[in-house]
Chains A and B, each alone.
Chain A
């Protein structure tokens, strides 16, 4: 595709439910990142995938958060037992050859 694609663009869920957010990076980009964007918090790093290496999970805020990347392409971020403080925009990015990060449009999560 032309850019990083994320789905859903908007998700409203009830507290305690699980959610899955999907990211389809730019074809050929081996590095993929998840960030969380919330008011007053800026952009918070969550997790990073590079090829077949073990992911850098150092930014995941709790064990309710997990992510996987299958086949070195599409990634899914899963949030279990969602809480209201999980409400944010979740951004995915992939890295080009020059080191520039290309971001998707984000998935806006609202936990009621």
Chain B
């Protein structure tokens, strides 16, 4: 079965500290993975996707097929990073249907 697990509901760090939001997936084929973010009072939006291999707002995520993980990292957290983060897996039917994790709330304290 295809599944996305985000083990932390809440992650609280101080400004300037490193951040790692964990994501593990279960999928038998070649996965396509995404991170979506929802800032307070804003709509859910794409943050980054693994095939782009890019850094957005200082965040990066590396696909580790051996550990079936796609953790989101940032070396120095900023207060404006506070938001809800969802990891998502594209399903096998090539429909673009995304399977989302339960989400992690990142709280960056001043």
Residues of B within 8 A of A (CB): 6, 9, 36, 43-46, 49, 86, 88, 90, 93, 95-103
Contact = CB atoms under 8 A, between A and B. Distances in A.
A106 B43 contact: yes
A100 interface: yes
Nearest to B88: A43
A4 B97 CA distance: 17
Q: Which of A4, A40, A42, A101 has the most CB of B within 10 A?
A: A42
A96 B46 CA distance: 12
B51 to A, nearest CB: 9
Interface residues of A, number: 25
B38 to A, nearest CB: 9
A70 interface: no
A101 B97 CA distance: 9
Contact of B99 (A4, A41, A45, A102): A45
A87 B17 CA distance: 37
B100 A95 contact: no
Contacts of B101: 42
A105 B45 CA distance: 10
Nearest to B46: A100
Contacts of A40: 9, 102
A3 B44 CA distance: 12
A95 B46 CA distance: 11
9 contacts: A33-B96, A42-B103, A43-B86, A43-B100, A45-B98, A56-B95, A93-B44, A100-B49, A101-B98
5 cross-chain pairs, A with B, having the tightest CB-CB distances, nearest first: A42-B102, A43-B100, A103-B44, A100-B46, A95-B96
